[in-house]
Amino acid sequence: MSDIATLVRSARRARNLTQRELARRSGLSQSRVALAERNQEVPRFDTAQRLLAATGHRLYAAPTTRDDVATIAAEIRDALGRDRRQLAFRYFIQMNDNLVGERGLLRGVLAVTAPESTGSRTWDAAIAALVAYRLNEQRVPLPDWVGEPTRRLERARLLRIDDADPVPSPEDVPAEFLDHGVLVWRDSLESV
């Protein structure tokens, strides 16, 4: 599951709060919020709950050993920041496999926390599309962040991993990806 830093940062940003505003709402200092968000200080459980409550969120535990979408999205962001698209795609496939590995509401729990932006609108849309694709399979309600306009592209684009990647035809792309404007081969999402 997400580390506390990812959870707090994602929850704060989902509510469009600054660190200072979160500090005021939680009754903690801004420097304490910053330390928690940078993972420089692991807050106690009650402090993490307090920070999340100040954003309108709650902290729950789920019986899984798989990383959630927000955690893997942070890995994708880091890989893209180092211009390592192949590694970013490996993380994306891991996200897919983690979602497939859970059933029912546990699958949904992995996608509850809105991931931070990867810095790429195409990748952000692809992550939202993947969550929609895998949650729809189990008829699990989609979290609100999946439908946000910033998670959709106006014009369909290929999730380019390699410059030589061919563009799939719409019949070869899952509907959720088409809906989010991202072209990904359906076969790429099937476990081997």
Query: pTM for this structure?
Result: 0.75
Q: Token pair of 89, please?
A: 């795609």
* The pLDDT value given to residue 191: 67
Domain regions of the chain by residue span:
4-54, 69-189
d(CA 90, CA 93): 5
* The pLDDT value given to residue 2: 54
pLDDT tens, position by position, 69-97: 999 999 999 999 999 999 999 999 999 99
User: Which portions of the chain are predicted below pLDDT 70?
Assistant: 1-2, 59-62, 191-192
CATH 1.20.1250.20 fits 4-54, yes or no: no
pLDDT tens, position by position, 110-121: 998 899 999 999
* The pLDDT value given to residue 1: 41
